[in-house]
Structure 1
Amino acid sequence: MADLQHILDDIAHDMAGATERGRIADYIPDLAAVDPRHFGIAVVDADGRTFLAGDATTRFSVQSITKVFSLTMALGTTGDALWQRVGREPSGTAFNSIVQLETEQGIPRNPFINAGAIVIADVLLARHEPRETIAEFVRFIRQLTGDDSIVIDRHVAAGEQATGYRNVALANYMRAFGNIRHPVEKVLGTYFHQCALAMDCRQLAMAGRYLMMGGTDPETGRSVVTSQRARRILALMLTCGHYDASGDFAFRVGLPGKSGVGGGILAIAPGSASIAVWSPGLDAKGNSLLGRRALERLVQHTGWSVFEPMACVMPDNRP
C-alpha cells in the first residue's frame, strides 16, 4: 500500500481542485463568513504517528462533533440510566427536527440529534452551574488532546444564542414533557457554548484517540470510558452520526463518524486510526460534502472500513 502521507497529500490536492463544494451553514452568522475553499485532513494512528494534509492546522467551529464528547461525559456521570431519557435509534429526520418528540413523549431518538444533545447538556448541569459545566467540558477536551490552547469561540456561541430559535423550541417542548429539568436558558447556554468549541483537524483527531483504543487514552493509559461504552459510542456514531444520511455514510465510508455543520467530521477506525477532516461546504443533509468524499477515498486506499475483514490492521507506513 502507498505511504499514508502520500495518500493524504493526494486527497488534499484533489479536494482543493473540486468545483462542487457544497453550501456553507449560513444560519449561524460566524460560519457564514468561512472561506469555502478550505480543506484539511489529519490522521493519528495506533502507534501515535500523526499525518496532516491541507488546512489541517486551521481551526474551525466543531459544532455537533462535540456531542460525542458530551455523551462520553454524561455516561461517566449517570451510566446507563442516561438511556431512560435519550434513545439509541436513528432518527431518519433532520438534526433539528421536532416532529418525533410529540409521539415519543419528549424522548429524543438519539444523543446526536439536537434534541438529544440538549438533554445531554441538561444531564451535565446536574452537578454544576453552566459556567462550571462549560469549563469542565473544555478541561475534558484539553485532557484528551494534551493541548491547553483549545477554547470556545464566544462569538460563535453568541451568534447561536441569538438565532437558535428552533433549539429553543426543542428545549421548551422537552421541558413540557419533564425531560428537561433545569431552566431552559441555562441548558441552551451550555449546549451552544459546547458546540462553539474551536479546534483544528489535528486536535480533533487527537481527541478521538480514546475511541480508537477501546476507551483508553493512549497518551496516559488512563481509562476514559470502559471498552463496552466505547463500543456503544462507536455504534451510535455509525448509525446516528450523520443524522438522516447516516445509512449513506455507513454505505460509502463504513466507519463510525460524527459530523458538524462547521464542516468537520470525526471518523474512527477501531484499533487503527482517529481521523478528522474539514471542508465547510455542506451537502443537502447538513454534512461536509468534500469531507465525506475524502473519507471515502481514504478508506478505499487503507481498507479501514469496519466491514472489511482486515479493518483493524494498521498499514505499515515505515520505510
Structure 2
Amino acid sequence: MICNDQGTLNEMIEAAKNYTQFGKVADYIPALQLANNDTLSVAVYGGGKSCMKAGNIEETFTLQSISKVITLALVLMDHGEEYVFSRVGMEPTGDPFNSIIKLETHTPSKPLNPMINAGALAVTSMISGRTARDKLDRLLQFVHDLTGRKTINFNENVAKSEFETADLNRSLCYFMKQHGVIHDNVEELLDLYTKQCAIEMNCEDLAKMGYIIANEGQDTETKQQIIPHDIARILKTFMITCGMYNASGEFAIRVGIPAKSGVSGGIMASIPHGVGIGIYGPALDDKGNSIAGMKLLESLSAHYDLSIF
C-alpha cells in the first residue's frame, strides 16, 4: 500500500531529485526566481492521520495554476454547469497555457477550457461576491475547508510581482471583454486572479485538497461533502485532459493520474477513490511542469499501478 511504504517513497524522491538539474525555476515572475532549483518534496495523504512525507516538506509555495481547479469547483457550486460552460469550454488545447491564438480563431471567442489562463480568468470573474475582497475571502474559506487549515493565506509579495508583470493576462482580459466573455474591470479582476494564484501552502495541504477531489468531494474522516460528487468528477476529468498544460496527453499515457501543475513547481494529484498527492519541485521543464515532480509521479504510478487507464 502506498501510504505504508515510507522507504520506497524516500528512494523515489532521491532518484527523482537528480532531474532537477535539467530544469529551471520560472523567471518571468520575479518573485518565483527566488526558489531553490534543487528542492523536491512530496506528501501522500490517505485520510485521517495517514500521510507519508519526504523531502523539504515544511517549505511553502504558491498554487499558481493549481488554483484554477479550486476556483472552478467554487464557481460550479455557485452557478452550475450550464452557466459556467456557456462561457468557458471543455476542450483540451495543444497550445501553451498563456496563448491567445484560440481566442482569435475560436468562435465566439470563448476560452477552450478552464485550465488555460484565458479560461481561468473568465472563471475567476464568476466568483460570487459583492466586492473583490468578498470573492477572495470566499475562495480562501473554501481552501480552508479543503485543507482543514485556517491559517492559509496568499503571499503578498508573489501576488504583487505577478500583478506587475501580467501584461499578457491583461491582453487576454481585454480581448475577452471586447467579445463579451467577461464584463469586469480588468485591473480589479487581475488583482483578484494574482492573489488567487499566490495562495500559499505546503505539500501536505496540497495532498489533502487532492484527496478530497479524489474521493468524490468528501472528507472521508468527517463525512462532510465539501464538493458535490458531480463537480469532483468534472475536476478530475479536466485534470487528466488539461491539467499538465500542453504535456497533458503524454502525461496521461506515461502516468495516467488526474493532476494539475503550477509554475511555482507544485503538482496536485488525485487518485480516484484513493490518495491525494502533493509535490513541490520548482525546477520546471519547457512546458512549465515540475521536471522532478513529473518523474516522481511517473515512478509512483508505475510502482503502485496507479494509472486510471
TM-score relative to the length of structure 1 = 0.92
1:207 aligns with 209
Query: Any stretches of 5+ residues in structure 1 without a counterpart?
Result: 308-319
- 1:1-319 map, 5 Å: 3-18=4-19, 20-46=21-47, 48-80=49-81, 81-104=83-106, 105-124=108-127, 126-307=128-309
Once the 2 structures are TM-superposed, how far is the Cα of residue 219 of structure 1 from its aligned partner?
A: 3.7
> Secondary structure at 1:117's aligned position in 2?
helix
| Matched residue type, 1:116 | G
How many angstroms apart in 1 are the aligned matches of 2:130 and 2:252?
A: 37
Cα 1:212/1:239, change in 2 over 3 Å: same
How many angstroms apart in 2 are the aligned matches of 1:225 and 1:17?
A: 37
Once the 2 structures are TM-superposed, how far is the Cα of residue 194 of structure 1 from its aligned partner?
A: 0.3
How many angstroms apart in 1 are the aligned matches of 2:126 and 2:65?
A: 17
How many angstroms apart in 2 are the aligned matches of 1:133 and 1:19?
A: 36
How many angstroms apart in 1 are the aligned matches of 2:262 and 2:20?
A: 22
Number of aligned residue pairs:
306
Cα 1:57/1:21, change in 2 over 3 Å: farther
Which range is displaced more, 163-172 or 96-105?
Answer: 96-105
How many angstroms apart in 1 are the aligned matches of 2:151 and 2:304?
A: 32
Kindly report structure 1 stretches of 4+ aligned residues shifted beyond 6 Å.
none
Once the 2 structures are TM-superposed, how far is the Cα of residue 227 of structure 1 from its aligned partner?
A: 1.6
**What's the CA shift string for 1:103-155, capped at 9, x where partnerless?**
2232111001000110011101x432111111111111111111122110010
Q: Does the aligned pair in 1 maintain the 2:43–2:204 contact within 8 Å? A: yes
Cα 1:147/1:47, change in 2 over 3 Å: closer
How many angstroms apart in 1 are the aligned matches of 2:79 and 2:244?
A: 25
| Matched residue type, 1:71 | L
How many angstroms apart in 1 are the aligned matches of 2:292 and 2:17?
A: 9
Once the 2 structures are TM-superposed, how far is the Cα of residue 4 of structure 1 from its aligned partner?
A: 2.2
Once the 2 structures are TM-superposed, how far is the Cα of residue 164 of structure 1 from its aligned partner?
A: 0.8
How many angstroms apart in 1 are the aligned matches of 2:6 and 2:77?
A: 36
Q: Does the aligned pair in 2 maintain the 1:42–1:276 contact within 8 Å? A: yes
| Matched residue type, 2:25 | I
Query: Any stretches of 5+ residues in structure 2 without a counterpart?
Result: none
How many angstroms apart in 1 are the aligned matches of 2:15 and 2:210?
A: 25
Q: Does the aligned pair in 1 maintain the 2:96–2:287 contact within 8 Å? A: yes
How many angstroms apart in 2 are the aligned matches of 1:208 and 1:298?
A: 16
Q: Does the aligned pair in 1 maintain the 2:271–2:306 contact within 8 Å? A: yes
How many angstroms apart in 2 are the aligned matches of 1:19 and 1:276?
A: 17
Which range is displaced more, 298-307 or 110-119?
Answer: 298-307
Once the 2 structures are TM-superposed, how far is the Cα of residue 19 of structure 1 from its aligned partner?
A: 5.8
| Matched residue type, 1:207 | M
How many angstroms apart in 1 are the aligned matches of 2:43 and 2:234?
A: 24
How many angstroms apart in 2 are the aligned matches of 1:208 and 1:33?
A: 26
Once the 2 structures are TM-superposed, how far is the Cα of residue 226 of structure 1 from its aligned partner?
A: 2.3
Once the 2 structures are TM-superposed, how far is the Cα of residue 18 of structure 1 from its aligned partner?
A: 3.9
Which range is displaced more, 162-171 or 42-51?
Answer: 42-51
Q: Does the aligned pair in 1 maintain the 2:140–2:152 contact within 8 Å? A: yes
**What's the CA shift string for 1:5-52, capped at 9, x where partnerless?**
122111122233446341110111110111101100000115651110
**What's the CA shift string for 1:70-98, capped at 9, x where partnerless?**
00000000101200000011011000000
